[in-house]
A and B are shown apart, each in its own frame.
Chain A
Amino acid sequence: MSLFLFLSFVALLSALGVVLAKNPVHSVLFLILTFFTLSAHYLTLNAQFLAAVNIIVYAGAIMVLFLFVIMFLNLNEDTEPHKPALAKIAAAIAGGSLLLIMVAALRGVQPVGYDANTFNSQVGMVDQLGLVLFKQYSLPFELASILLLAAMVGSVMLGKRETGERNF
């Protein structure tokens, strides 16, 4: 329980850091820290596969690209454009209403307790997850994998040298 509280505390703090940090690079780093704490939460729920994949995909690939782009843009406090007060008010209202909707949607949720006798602690393990994915959700899983494969083949094709093209 104390581990959960600590992780939640760090997660919320770093999530706040993402929003409040002046420097975009700091924001990205806070976001990475948030992903780490989320992965740690998955680990405490005995979902090792989800934790590892969360780190590989989000922290290891997507955030690298984020950081990459931000470094290219060379954003910092000096180059930050001046935002008019109207934009700030509009942003505050939009964000506030999002919060309101979230709270309203989650208010009625009753957390389902679990029975310690029938609970399967292996449910988050990779083999259990694989069985579910390949049996119960076979079609969506295959469709998603074909989509990803198509994207990968497409990127390879984009990178192929065309006939007659010679860069060097």
Chain B
Amino acid sequence: MTLETLGWQGLVVLVVFGISLLIATYCTYAERVIAAFLQDRVGPDRAGPFGIVQPLADAVKLFTKEEFFPSGANKALFIFGPCLAMITALMSSAVIPFGNILQFGETAIRLQGIEINVGMLYVFGIVSLGVYGIMIGGWASNNKFSLLGAIRAASQNISYELAMGLALIAVLMMSGSLSLRDITLQQSVPGEWHFWNIVKQPLGFIIFIVCAFAETNRTPFDLPECETELVGGYHTEYSSMKMGLYLFAEYVNVFVASAVMSVIYFGGFNFPFQYELREWLHSAQGLSVDAAQNIIVILGVVTIFAKIFAFIFFFMWVRWTLPRFRYDQLMRLGWTILIPLAIFNILLTGGLITTGIIPEIKQWWVSSPLG
């Protein structure tokens, strides 16, 4: 990798960082509008046309509110908690492949922050760290409700991480690679039956999405912050922008979870007939190979964001439909239903691979023109 491409890659990382924040910002607005529409209401429509600058107004409100430290709080950790929540939420979007490689003559820009061959494990590791922000903040608040929220968050995250990992193992058995980029490229082999993973892993996807809801602390699994029982859960004592960071981290997590789901199960930046379209652009429209490829890549970026937004919408749709689980129901679902189901899914996938019903994936992308 030359220094020049390294510079481009740094730019990509910055752009990914900015996009994560921007999407999280507008998730707050989208959540309110979608909630309103699902309940036959209007939603925020005062700040700007259709309330489009509402997030800015919210940010100004949060920044100008009083910073409050509860008595007996561990001040350093009280500040550190929301920072950690935000850092871990933002870190995981680095390995998401938002697009294929853009080719400008000699310069190649990979539309992905970093490409490591353990990408999935990286996401998994960062997600498992996300609970520290909640735990530390909840403990440092010196409030029993916060502590209960933190403890709930910890046990919930650990329980659902298991089922999540087991659901992913079934995908890994088929892909033979931990790299998210490889997994994406495998879902679009031209001329072969290799469609999106959701076709091959429907059960795994259901397990994964349930676990994603639990890991991001969204309804119906938002027990760490359930206001009917715990006032505000782990952020009871938080105010001002520290509170805002917690809320923000949740939306970044939702964004990352949506991105991971669209990459692993819904083909990432692939869209149907992309090769035919590229062929048509190249031969019928007379574009150069690079130009045709770049158009496909840009359309791919649009595709993955459409998928991500669909998932974010689904997260919000579920939030305003389903009531919250009870805590024992949550634990029972995680341990006695999802984990056995995930193990069964692994066995099923293994069986299908050995009998050859799911075809073995060749390392085709090495010779692929997309590669």
Please determine if A and B sit in direct contact within the complex, based on CB atoms under 8 angstroms apart: yes
Chain A interface (Cβ within 8 Å of chain B)? 23, 25, 29, 32, 48-49, 51-53, 55-56, 59-61, 64-65, 67-68, 71-72, 125-127, 149, 152-153, 155-156, 159-161, 167-168
B116 interfacial contact with A, CB 8 Å: yes
B136 interfacial contact with A, CB 8 Å: yes
A23 and B74 alpha carbons, distance in the complex (Å): 11
Residue pair B135, A67 in contact (C-beta under 8 Å): yes
Chain B residues lying within 8 Å of A127, measured Cβ to Cβ, are 117
Decide: A55 near B154, CB < 8 A? Known: A48-B116, A64-B131, A156-B340.
Answer: no
Separation in Å of the A156 CB from the closest CB of chain B? 6
20 CB contacts below 8 A, A to B, read: A49-B118, A49-B178, A51-B118, A55-B128, A56-B125, A60-B129, A61-B158, A61-B161, A65-B154, A67-B135, A67-B139, A67-B154, A68-B135, A71-B135, A125-B117, A152-B162, A159-B332, A159-B336, A161-B336, A168-B328
B335 interfacial contact with A, CB 8 Å: yes
A167 and B154 alpha carbons, distance in the complex (Å): 23
B147 interfacial contact with A, CB 8 Å: yes
Chain A residues lying within 8 Å of B335, measured Cβ to Cβ, are 155-156, 159
Report the number of A-B residue pairs with Cβ-Cβ less than 8 Å.
86
Interface string of B116-145 (1 = CB under 8 A from A): 111001101100110110011001000000
Residue pair A64, B157 in contact (C-beta under 8 Å): yes
Residue pair A53, B339 in contact (C-beta under 8 Å): no
Chain A residues lying within 8 Å of B128, measured Cβ to Cβ, are 55-56, 59-61, 64
Residue pair A60, B161 in contact (C-beta under 8 Å): yes
Separation in Å of the B45 CB from the closest CB of chain A? 42
3 tightest A-B contacts by CB?
Answer: A60-B128, A52-B121, A55-B125
The residue on B at minimum CB distance from A122 is B117
Chain A residues lying within 8 Å of B124, measured Cβ to Cβ, are 52, 56
A153 and B118 alpha carbons, distance in the complex (Å): 27
Residue pair B125, A60 in contact (C-beta under 8 Å): yes
A51 and B326 alpha carbons, distance in the complex (Å): 36
Chain A residues lying within 8 Å of B336, measured Cβ to Cβ, are 156, 159-161
Chain B interface size, under 10 / 10 to 19 / 20 to 34 / 35 or more: 35 or more
The residue on B at minimum CB distance from A72 is B151
Decide: A48 near B118, CB < 8 A? Known: A64-B157, A156-B340, A159-B331.
Answer: yes
B150 interfacial contact with A, CB 8 Å: yes
Residue pair A68, B154 in contact (C-beta under 8 Å): yes
B77 interfacial contact with A, CB 8 Å: yes
A85 and B340 alpha carbons, distance in the complex (Å): 52
A16 and B255 alpha carbons, distance in the complex (Å): 38
Residue pair A126, B154 in contact (C-beta under 8 Å): no
The residue on A at minimum CB distance from B165 is A56
Chain A residues lying within 8 Å of B117, measured Cβ to Cβ, are 48, 125-127
The residue on B at minimum CB distance from A49 is B118
Separation in Å of the A97 CB from the closest CB of chain B? 35
The residue on A at minimum CB distance from B331 is A159
A43 and B121 alpha carbons, distance in the complex (Å): 14
Residue pair B125, A152 in contact (C-beta under 8 Å): no
A56 and B122 alpha carbons, distance in the complex (Å): 8
A-B contact sample (19 more), CB < 8 A, given A52-B118, A168-B326? A25-B74, A25-B139, A49-B178, A52-B122, A53-B121, A56-B121, A56-B125, A60-B125, A61-B128, A64-B135, A64-B157, A64-B158, A65-B158, A68-B155, A71-B147, A71-B151, A149-B343, A159-B332, A168-B328
Chain A residues lying within 8 Å of B77, measured Cβ to Cβ, are 25, 29
A161 and B331 alpha carbons, distance in the complex (Å): 12
The residue on B at minimum CB distance from A160 is B336
Interface string of B71-104 (1 = CB under 8 A from A): 0001001000000000000000000000000000
Separation in Å of the A40 CB from the closest CB of chain B? 13
A24 and B150 alpha carbons, distance in the complex (Å): 17
A60 and B136 alpha carbons, distance in the complex (Å): 14
Most buried by B among A64, A125, A127, A167: A64
Chain A residues lying within 8 Å of B151, measured Cβ to Cβ, are 68, 71-72
Residue pair B328, A167 in contact (C-beta under 8 Å): yes
Most buried by A among B74, B125, B158, B343: B125
Residue pair A32, B132 in contact (C-beta under 8 Å): yes
A123 and B178 alpha carbons, distance in the complex (Å): 16
Chain B residues lying within 8 Å of A156, measured Cβ to Cβ, are 335-336, 339-340
A127 and B179 alpha carbons, distance in the complex (Å): 11
The residue on B at minimum CB distance from A157 is B336
Separation in Å of the A120 CB from the closest CB of chain B? 15
A153 and B166 alpha carbons, distance in the complex (Å): 13
A64 and B157 alpha carbons, distance in the complex (Å): 10
Residue pair A126, B339 in contact (C-beta under 8 Å): no
Interface string of B47-91 (1 = CB under 8 A from A): 000000000000000000000000000100100000000000000
